Structure 1
Amino acid sequence: MSGPKPTEQHVERVASPDPDILQDKHTAVDEELRRYVVAAGSVEVDEATSKRLRRLIDKRVLVVMTGTYFLQSLDKNAISFAAIMGIQEDAHLYSWLHTVIYFGILFAEYPTNLLVQKLPIGKYLAANIFLWGLTLTMNVFGFNFAILCVLRVLLGIFEAVSQPTFLLLSSMWYKREEQAHIVAYWYGMNGVQGIVGGLFAYGMSHVHSPVVKSWQLLFVLLGCITCLWSIFVLWWMPDSPMRAKCYSEEDRILIIERVRANQTGIQNRKFKKGHVQEAIRDPQIWLYILIQIIIQIPTGGLGSYSTILIKNFGYTELQTELLSMVNGAVQCVVLLSAAWLSRHYNQTILFQFAFLIPNIAGTAVLMAVPISSSTKVGLLIAYWCTLSFWGTTVLLMSLLSRNVAGQTKKSVSTASLFLAWAVGNMIGPQVFQSKDAPRYFTCFSVHMGCYIVIIILLALLRWYLKWQNMKRDQLQENDPRASELNLDNAFDDLTDGENLSFRYKY
């Protein structure tokens, strides 16, 4: 765990805080975390050890995040496949079935973020997974609009746990430079579910029974799989690095030391009103919120209407289900390439700009080219180009994960981000109006306007983060006590957040 500094290996070393300082500050610090940091002493985590720890963490935490988000995406979007399997009776009602789930998310988002901060995170996650799996199976009784609406709202309430929990887990277990990749891995399950969902729907479409309809069988099968997964999560997922009994005591200490330099917090169950006020006053949070709302308008619409759009191009039901698998593959490529490019070149917002270019080009084609047998392949490719918005979306979430410090501030900011996500997704399906079918020209005009506004907001966000870093550099140059302040705050960095050495990522 400690020892001489290797000569040819990269070493991350963080000075542990003075125990006397800890005694003075212990009332403001999570006691469970404090015990591990005090026990750690002076710890060195070399590159080989860091890689070993990363593998241990991936085996537990990343497996749960990717598996859970895959099922959440699959369960939420099952209604899209059911739409072309017989459940859809009215296009306007179908839009509302996609919208009402976000009413549930809006209702549950802030309570869920508070509960995640206070309850054992693994057990709370498992409970919500089981409840949304149970809700999904109840869709078998969705013979009218009212029943489906109630079930969709309940599904939104229970599924609201996933994204804020995973952002918290990403910052709790992983280093800042790893987080863009980690967020891309679990968020990339949106693409995987498109592939698997297409296969499920294709298989279910071949079921012809007088007792059960194909869409009913789809809901029951997915709901039962989700309930079984919740049992696995309850058994497999540790609540925190400090409570991870699956690791040795020495490894738990090393895991905590490994992420100390993040300065964005590991655990603090005390709700701090000052952090709430700080989040409200922070311009970057408001920029994240605005960007999220606007980008989710095209996201929510295109995601909800993907199967209907493809079918409108002139493809059969079975062809549409199989082509939906390609949608998922495109999303996976976009998400993983966005994370790799961001990490490799240490640029995030510039690549968010880049991933908007195919969106704009694809949308322009969908607006300009009429639907015919000779153009349906080109229109399909143009639609796939519009899926590049996933790269911009996932990098936005990684920015918040890496740039917001302090557990309460992170909790409030994350909740706000996903409230904005819900609002944008509520609006998205409503932009698609049945009177505009099959080309939806008005809808794609709105999408084009959204992309232009996002470019402006991203430029403003990048300028603001660069300006904040310049201010910090000037303060460090002018303040002779800067290094001392950083050392005194070394322990608080684990729970309360940033100091003068904290650098915004952009």
Structure 2
Amino acid sequence: MAALTKDSMFERHIEDVEKDIVSVTSGETRPAAGIDSEVANFFASQSQGPIEIDEATDRRLRWMIHKRVLLVMVVTYFAQTLDKGTINFASIMGIVEDTHLVGQQYSWLTTCVYLAILAWEFPTNRLIQRLPIGKYLSFNIAAWGAVLACTAACKNFTGLIIVRTLLGIFECVCQPAFVFLSTMWYRREEQALVIGAFYSMNGFQQCVGGLIAYGVAQIEGQVLKNWQILFTMLGCITFVWGIFVGFWLPDSPIRATCFSPEDRLLMAERVRKNETGIQNKEFKWYQVREALSDPVVWSVTLISFTNGMPTGGLGAFSNLIIKAFGFTTLQTYLLAIAQGAIIMTFLFSAAYLSKRYNQKLLLAIIYTLPNIIGTVVFLTVPTRSDTKVGLLISFYLTMAFGAVSVLNLAVMSNNVAGRTKQVVASSLVFIAWAVGNAVGPQVFRANDAPRYIKAFIAHMVVYALQVVVLFFLRLYLMRLNVLKRRAAALRESTANGEDRDEHLAHNHAFDDLTDRENPDFRYTY
């Protein structure tokens, strides 16, 4: 009877979605959905309708966008991950002893960053919607650079907590801003590679961060401690980069005066088929309600948590865990470089395969498996001199979480339309990510060191939950496509309701309609 009740509830929800789709397809679009005035004026000034862009022009435009937008995303995310991860390298440079940290205080230095993100994520998403994104991003980068440099002046736990909390507030702009920039400048099929490109900096910072940390660790006889030099140097570099971003990054294709008017129009037309628009500063409450009742939004949110929880702990404790295997401090630095290369391999392979086979959720399931395998080995194999290499390899397998993050963000950016709905969905996803990362270090208890067996058992539970949600989301999106085509009285040519030969007008691409409202919208998975 319980199973029957759940099935009937699911069917009723599907029927409600189908009614929404039928209503918008028959012309009953909500009057509240207003077009952004700047977008409307931009397209009204152009006499022609939708423009077909040839392959050579598309390639030229893509490289122009790469130089202005992707460059900023990649370098900024590298700076963010390096700056945030500096505490990991400082942990074996003496910051724990010099600032008199005891018990769980070191764990709280990571947790407080994510608690700050948790509190500030929705406000920063709303500011991204309202303010010129290039200028707002520039301010936050420069601010967190200044805060990072101030970490060198901290003498105790209180000072460290304050600067780490401020770091979380200023840094939390990055991921939602970059996902928004991806939908604004790049086509759907390009977004996984774009997100993968900046997300790969998680791995690259492990490579470069290890080298930088090793170089700084060799400095002797200086007034400042090694970890103080590291924080000061990286903070100043980040501050300068933030100022540069304010001059280099365009706020939108419409405002990109660095490009010709003709190219700006073509860049906007490139993303017409995304059906997710360019911008809309109006906050629409009906889109909030739709987001909060959408299983797609809650699914990507839950995946963000299940993927973020292991990330938070492994990010803060990876060097301590590797050192516990019996490697020296120097070897730990060098092995961090290999760890970074493995993270980048997982990320780029996931992004490439996603574009190559047009699959995201199946790949996310596949990339969850190395995490499970590595964790099982880590839980069952004892630490001995003859097992430390095998344990190291199993630990490296758990780095596949980054691939799932990229694919999950691509699923969100591809399948949520309506700017206010995107704000809510992005806020929920990154709040869940922050909660996961805040909880992550706390499951690594000091009395469970150095193997942290209980923490890895917790990881196994969330990996299992993640696989279940990924399966559900894929089936649900397939079903929504069937309903879209049925509502439009189109033949369902395949099991998932898609038709490669389907010709959609894309007349509502910049009308700020939600994915449910827009009859031309099709879900990807």
TM-score, reference length from structure 1: 0.92
CA offsets, 1:444-503, max 9 Å, x none? 111111111111111111111111111111111179xxx999666354168988522211
1:97 aligns with 2:109: yes
Is the 8 Å Cα contact of residues 322 and 392 (structure 2) preserved in structure 1?
yes
1:39 deviates by: 3.0
How many residues align structurally? 481
- 1:117-149 per-residue CA deviation (whole Å, 9 max, x = no partner) reads 111110100000000000000001121001000
Q: CA deviation at 1:198?
A: 0.4
Moved over 6 A (4+): 494-497
d(CA) in 2 for partners of 1:487 and 1:190?
Answer: 36
Q: What is the rounded CA distance, in whole Å, between the counterparts of 1:146 and 1:200 in structure 2?
A: 27
Instruction: Describe the shift of the 1:316–1:75 C-alpha distance in structure 2 as closer, same or farther (beyond 3 A).
Output: same
Residue 63 (structure 1) aligned with residue 75 (structure 2): no
CA contact (8 A) 1:362 1:386 kept: yes
1:32 to 28, 38, 48: 38
- Output the CA distance in 2 between the equivalents of 1:114 and 1:448: 35
Provide the C-alpha distance between the structure 2 equivalents of 1:399 and 1:418, rounded to a whole number of angstroms: 14
Give the SS at the match of 2:407.
helix
Cα 1:488/1:250, change in 2 over 3 Å: closer
Q: What residue number does 2:521 align with?
A: 502
1:59–1:443 Cα change, 3 Å: same
Residue 120 of structure 2: aligned partner: 108
Displacement after TM superposition at 1:209 (Å): 2.7
Give the alignment of 1:75-90 within 5 angstroms: 75-88=83-96, 89-90=101-102
Partner of 1:196: 208
Q: Which of 317, 341, 347 is residue 329 of structure 2 equivalent to?
A: 317
Cα distance in structure 2, aligned partners of 1:210 and 1:132: 26
Partner of 1:134: 146
Query: Residue 35 of structure 2 contacts residue 512 of structure 2 at CA under 8 Å; is this kept in 1?
Result: no
1:409–1:144: structure 2 CA closer, same or farther, 3 Å change rule?
same
**2:40 is matched by which residue type in structure 1?**
R
Distance (Å, rounded) in 2 between the aligned partners of 1:75 and 1:494: 38
* Separation (CA, whole Å) in 1 of partners of 2:65 and 2:370: 35
Give the SS at the match of 2:268: helix
Distance 1:441 1:158 in 2: 34
1:271–1:496 distance in 2 versus 1, CA, 3 Å: farther
| Structure 1 residues 81 and 469: alpha-carbon distance in aligned structure 2, compared to 1, 3 A threshold | same
CA contact (8 A) 1:405 1:498 kept: no
| Conserved? CA contact 1:195–1:326, under 8 Å | yes
User: Matches of 1:485 and 1:140 in 2, distance apart?
Assistant: 57
1:241–1:255 contact (8 Å) kept in structure 2: yes
Match for 1:38: what amino acid?
A
Counterparts of 1:491 and 1:380 in 2: how far apart (Å)? Answer: 50
Give the distance between the partners of 1:428 and 1:193, measured in 2 at CA: 20
The secondary structure found in structure 2 opposite 1:446 is: helix
- The answer on whether the counterparts of 2:274 and 2:509 sit within 8 Å (CA) in structure 1 is no
1:231-267: CA deviation from partner (whole Å, max 9, x where unpaired): 2101110011011010000000010111111001211
Structure 2 equivalent of residue 396 of structure 1: 408
Compared CA separation, residues 453 and 495, structure 1 to 2 (3 A): closer
CA contact (8 A) 1:207 1:214 kept: yes
Distance 1:237 1:129 in 2: 13
The equivalent residue for 1:439 is: 451
Aligned with 2:375 (options 360, 363, 374): 363
Shift of 1:426: 0.4
1:278 maps to 2:312: no
- The answer to whether the Cα contact below 8 Å between 1:268 and 1:495 also exists between their aligned partners in 2 is no
- Matched residue type, 1:275: Q
Q: Per the alignment, do residues 485 and 451 of structure 1 end up closer, same or farther by CA in structure 2, a change over 3 Å counting?
A: closer
Distance 2:515 2:298 in 1: 21
Residue identity opposite 1:31 in structure 2: S
- CA distance 1:134–1:371, change in 2 (3 Å): same
Offset of residue 42 of structure 1:
4.5
Q: Does 1:51 align with 2:63?
A: no
Alignment of 1:383-422 (within 5 A): 383-422=395-434
Other-structure match for 1:14: none
Residue number in structure 1 paired with 2:156: 144
Q: Does the CA contact (< 8 Å) of 2:276 and 2:510 recur in 1?
A: no
Assess if the C-alpha contact under 8 Å between 1:116 and 1:165 holds in 2.
yes
RMSD value over aligned CA atoms?
Answer: 2.1
SS in 2 for 1:81: helix
Task: Indicate the percent of aligned positions where both proteins have the same amino acid.
Answer: 50
Q: Counterpart of 1:501 in 2: which secondary structure?
A: coil
Change (3 A) 1:232 1:490: closer
Structure 2, unmatched stretches of 5+, are 1-26, 492-501
2:353 equivalent to 1:341 = yes
Quick one: structure 1 residues 26 and 414, their matched pair in 2 at CA, closer, same or farther if it must change by over 3 Å?
closer
How do residues 106-505 of structure 1 correspond to structure 2 at under 5 angstroms? 106-477=118-489, 489-492=508-511, 499-505=518-524
Amino acid at match of 1:331: I
Q: Describe the SS at the equivalent of 2:53.
A: strand
